[in-house]
């Protein structure tokens, strides 16, 4: 009876873990498929709550009204590299800029209206405040894009090493790519999502070279563009993919070491300003302070 109970509980636990893994994988595949097909897999109301849905819809309508011919390709590419892949990202971005511009102009004009400044200065300060506020979406997108690029660039050598090991073990490139995407997800979800999206694009019928180029275009990382070029050339000329990946991974490790050394050398210059502003005055006070107090007492006594 005891053995039967233990076996039953083990079976139930294994089935529950397997069902959870399959459900999470299915949800991730649906999310990646919605990104690839440019469909809204998750609405703004679902992400931000039902109370924010009218405001988000209003911002998107403002952006759509501003961009009559549609957003430019450069703007869409910047938003994609920042992680905003939906078709409504560009209208929301433009609508937020217009809304912040209006809010800045109105807020600053209302703040300086009760001062003694002339109308010209009120309008000028209002335009300056609106311009500063309208620049905030640019700053947010730029910071997010740099953060994603740095995250991908730091973890790409490990992914290339895993890919080379899988290919050297006898796996095909597509299967190895999928395995590496699953393994790297725990340390770099951004790179794992992009690799899984590329694999899904290949499974939907896109040529591997085109899917790889789309990966390089979405991330905007130079190392990924070099990796895509190496894989495409190896496939085109029939050379060993494992040898090409081994050579490329060693060059990437050398590049990462050089970047670390460069950052370490820059650290001395960066520490110079805090030392001058904070540490050096404290040292001067500690060293010269007692002598200055004694000198002041001597002068006061004389």
Residue-by-residue pLDDT tens, the chain, 302 positions: 555 565 665 655 666 665 555 455 555 555 555 554 444 444 444 444 554 567 677 777 777 777 766 677 788 888 888 888 777 788 888 888 888 888 888 888 877 777 777 777 878 888 888 888 888 888 988 899 988 888 888 888 888 888 889 888 888 888 888 888 888 888 888 888 888 888 888 888 888 888 888 888 888 888 888 888 888 888 888 888 888 888 888 888 888 888 888 888 888 888 888 888 888 888 888 888 888 888 888 888 76
3-state secondary structure of 117: coil
**Residue 182 sits in which domain range?**
151-257
Is residue 196 located within the same domain as residue 228?
yes
What pLDDT score was predicted for residue 5? 62
Contact 190, 148 (CB under 8 A): yes
Cβ-proximal residues to 195 (8 Å cutoff; 6+ apart), any chain = 159, 177, 180, 181, 184, 215
Distance CA(21)–CA(27), nearest Å, equals: 10
**Residue 24 belongs to a domain:** no
* Residue that is last in its domain, among 134, 159, 186: 134
CA distances (Å), origin 142, targets 7, 82, 84, 219, 297: 55, 7, 12, 13, 58
Task: Say which DSSP state 115 is in.
Answer: S
Among 29, 144, 139, CA closest to 83: 144
Contact 18, 183 (CB under 8 A): no
Among 103, 94, 106, 83, CA closest to 137: 94
- Beta strand spans in 54-205 (E): none
- Nearest 5 degrees, angle CA 193-CA 198-CA 200? 90
Is residue 119 located within the same domain as residue 161?
no
Consecutive H or E run containing 249: helix 241-274
Is residue 69 located within the same domain as residue 155?
no
**Residue 1 belongs to a domain:** no
- Number of CB atoms found within 10 A of residue 253's CB: 14
Q: Is the pTM of this model over 0.75?
A: no
What pLDDT score was predicted for residue 31? 55
**Residue 20 belongs to a domain:** no
CA distances (Å), origin 214, targets 151, 190, 198: 19, 15, 8
Cβ-proximal residues to 256 (8 Å cutoff; 6+ apart), any chain = 154, 157
What pLDDT score was predicted for residue 37? 46
Is residue 182 located within the same domain as residue 251?
yes
**Residue 8 belongs to a domain:** no
- Number of CB atoms found within 10 A of residue 185's CB: 16
**Residue 11 belongs to a domain:** no
Is residue 124 located within the same domain as residue 173?
no
Is residue 90 located within the same domain as residue 169?
no
**Residue 77 belongs to a domain:** yes
**Residue 283 belongs to a domain:** no
Q: What are the helix (H) ranges across 37-88?
A: 44-48, 53-66, 73-81
**Residue 268 belongs to a domain:** no
Contact 152, 219 (CB under 8 A): yes
Cβ-proximal residues to 93 (8 Å cutoff; 6+ apart), any chain = 63, 71, 75, 79, 84, 137, 141
Question: Domain count of the chain?
Answer: 2
């Amino acid at each position: 009876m005891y053995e039967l109970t233990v076996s039953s509980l083990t079976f139930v636990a294994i089935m529950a873990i397997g069902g959870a893994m399959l459900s999470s994988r299915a949800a991730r595949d649906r999310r990646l498929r919605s990104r690839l097909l440019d469909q809204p897999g998750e609405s703004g109301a679902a992400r931000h709550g039902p109370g924010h849905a009218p405001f988000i819809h209003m911002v998107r309508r403002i952006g759509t009204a501003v961009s009559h011919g549609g957003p430019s390709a450069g703007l869409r590419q910047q938003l994609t590299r920042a992680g905003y892949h939906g078709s409504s990202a560009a209208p929301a971005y433009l609508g937020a800029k217009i809304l912040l511009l209006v809010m800045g102009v109105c807020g600053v004009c209302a703040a300086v209206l009760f001062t003694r400044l002339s109308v010209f200065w009120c309008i000028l300060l209002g335009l300056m405040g609106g311009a500063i506020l309208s620049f905030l979406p640019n700053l947010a997108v730029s910071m997010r894009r740099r953060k994603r690029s740095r995250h991908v660039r730091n973890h790409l050598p490990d992914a290339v090493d895993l890919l080379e090991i899988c290919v050297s073990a006898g796996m095909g490139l597509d299967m190895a790519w999928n395995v590496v995407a699953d393994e790297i997800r725990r340390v770099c979800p951004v790179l794992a999502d992009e690799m899984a999206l590329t694999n899904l694009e290949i499974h939907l019928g896109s040529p591997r070279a085109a899917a790889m180029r789309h990966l390089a275009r979405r991330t905007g990382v130079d190392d990924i563009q070099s990796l895509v070029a190496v894989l495409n050339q190896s496939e085109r000329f029939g050379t060993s993919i494992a040898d090409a990946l081994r050579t490329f991974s060693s060059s990437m490790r050398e590049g990462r070491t050089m970047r670390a050394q460069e950052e370490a050398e820059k650290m001395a210059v960066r520490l110079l300003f805090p030392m001058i502003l904070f540490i050096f005055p404290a040292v001067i006070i500690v060293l010269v302070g007692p002598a200055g107090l004694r000198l002041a007492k001597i002068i006061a006594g004389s």
